[in-house]
Amino acid sequence: MTINSVKQNLLTSNNIHKENIYDVLNKMSDSKIEYGDIYIQSILQESWLLENGIIKTGSYHEDHGIGIRAINGSKTGFSYSNDINVDSLFKISKMACDSIYDKNYVNNKIINFNNVITSNKYNFINPLRGNTSEEKIDILNIINNVARKADKRVVDVNARILSNYENIFVSSTDGNLSYDIRPLIHVYISVFVEENGKREQGFMGGGRRDGYKFFMEKNNLGETNIIYWTLEAVRSALLNLYAIPAPSGSYAVVLGSGWPGVLLHEAVGHGLEGDFNRHGTSLFSNKIGKKVASSLCTIIDDGTIFGRRGSLTIDDEGTPSQKNILIENGILKCYMQDKLNAKFMDTKSTGNCRRESYAHLPMPRMTNTYMLPGLSNKDEIIESVGFGLYATNFSGGQVDITSGQFVFSTSEAYLIKNGKITNPIKNATLIGSGIEVMQQISMVGNDLSLDSGIGICIKDGQSIPVGVGQPTIKLNNLTIGGTN
């Protein structure tokens, strides 16, 4: 697959030519708008479902369309259509412009298109092709067989495989012209175990911007990814059979490496998105250059990591993705920006403009957000805790952007007593605020890892794939809601 195939799929096959794009954008400018863009997309999606050991469904979905946005000052006009043709381009662009018409704006003619040149951040591959339906079903059968053979207490195995293939075209009145091909796969595995009438669940999964071959690749332990994730789901479920109720109170918390970075994503990352800070509704508003975290903390949002779930060759305004330092040694350096919010904040886009599809308005969003490693090792971090909690996995949570207050539920956690990991615990809830968490970090491990590739971020009803990560970190004091 090449960028030329995107042009053929989205434009040429629909009798749309570069001259048509040029004419539409110039007509939009003639309508006295400050900025306008065209987003054309095709989406292919496939899903396979294993439920209670039975292959229940295999589904295929196709969608395509055009989304056109017009901006005057703080006003945005938006219209979309699932018909990709020249008539639709002119019709919906007029609708978008008419909704925000302002006679005071001066026409801004496009002189030349500038093709966006950037290195690919993933292979241009269509994951829906290259494997037969039988081969895809075999992956689900492997999950079922491995889980049930792992332990006789396994009573139910569920799994879902999702694969996406997107073609993207973006062009705008500032002369931008860009294309992208976006593959994406992931598998989610859920295992139930039962013993003496007690039933518990464990889950695991993974994915990346790649083809199905990734599921069968071996990790650094010598196991294929799909077998490793399945055994981890079984292990997690069995662990919960013997977990004791979590204690309540305020005490030290150690967060494991990898997926626990989802807490930073929610409690800190969203607060650093440009729109919240432009409107002054974030706890981090007006704090650029100020200390907002422990000096041990450096947080990055990086959409350039090859093949990662949250990576982008270009964002949804056509800006190349970037590696952005958000917080450096505790000092707030920048917010994540799209073109609109960057303009009002007198800065530039950071390549963080994202949207769920052509039918949605773009906004500043995270890509792969993580904390850089420190100098401590995991063992010495654990040994430094007299009594506390060690959390290695989370099942969900919520955050209030304005106050920064969050609530997160652990799905795998342990008590730490006298510097040693002891009993597994369940029903532990972490309660605090974003800035509180960042200031409570007293040790940062040297074991940075990223999540396995199942992150989904929801903002204003739009779901997008993201990545998270961190090293092991120690929080000196955090409120824990438990049942004991």
Asked if residue 375 lies in contact with residue 353, where contact means CB atoms within 8 angstroms, the answer is no
**Where exactly does CATH 3.30.2290.10 map onto the chain?**
3-241
pLDDT classification of 106: cutoffs 50, 70, 90? low
Q: Render the burial of 60-93: b for 16+ CB within 10 Å, e for the rest.
A: eeeebbbbbbbbbeeebbbbbbeebeeebbbbbb
**Per-residue model confidence (pLDDT) at position 333:** 98
Task: For domain 3-241, say whether CATH 3.90.550.10 is its number.
Answer: no
Considering only CA atoms, which of 395, 385, 381 is closest in space to residue 263? Answer: 395
The pTM score is: 0.95
**Per-residue model confidence (pLDDT) at position 117:** 73
Determine the distance from the C-alpha atom of residue 276 to the mean position of all C-alpha atoms in its chain, rounded to a whole number: 18
- Mean pLDDT of all residues in 103-124: 77
Give the lowest-confidence range in 94-108, 151-165, 184-198: 94-108
**Per-residue model confidence (pLDDT) at position 77:** 96
**Mean pLDDT, the chain, whole residue set:** 93
**Per-residue model confidence (pLDDT) at position 5:** 86
**pLDDT for residue 244 is more than 80:** yes
Could you identify the residue written with the tokens 């037969």?
Answer: 132
Quote the longest CA-to-CA distance of the chain: 75
pLDDT classification of 111: cutoffs 50, 70, 90? low
pLDDT in tens, 355-412: 999 999 999 999 999 999 999 999 999 999 999 999 999 987 778 888 888 888 999 9
One-character DSSP codes across 15-37 = T--HHHHHHHHHHHHHT--SEEE
Higher per-residue pLDDT: 87 or 103: 87
- Mean pLDDT of all residues in 59-80: 95
**Per-residue model confidence (pLDDT) at position 2:** 74
**Per-residue model confidence (pLDDT) at position 96:** 96
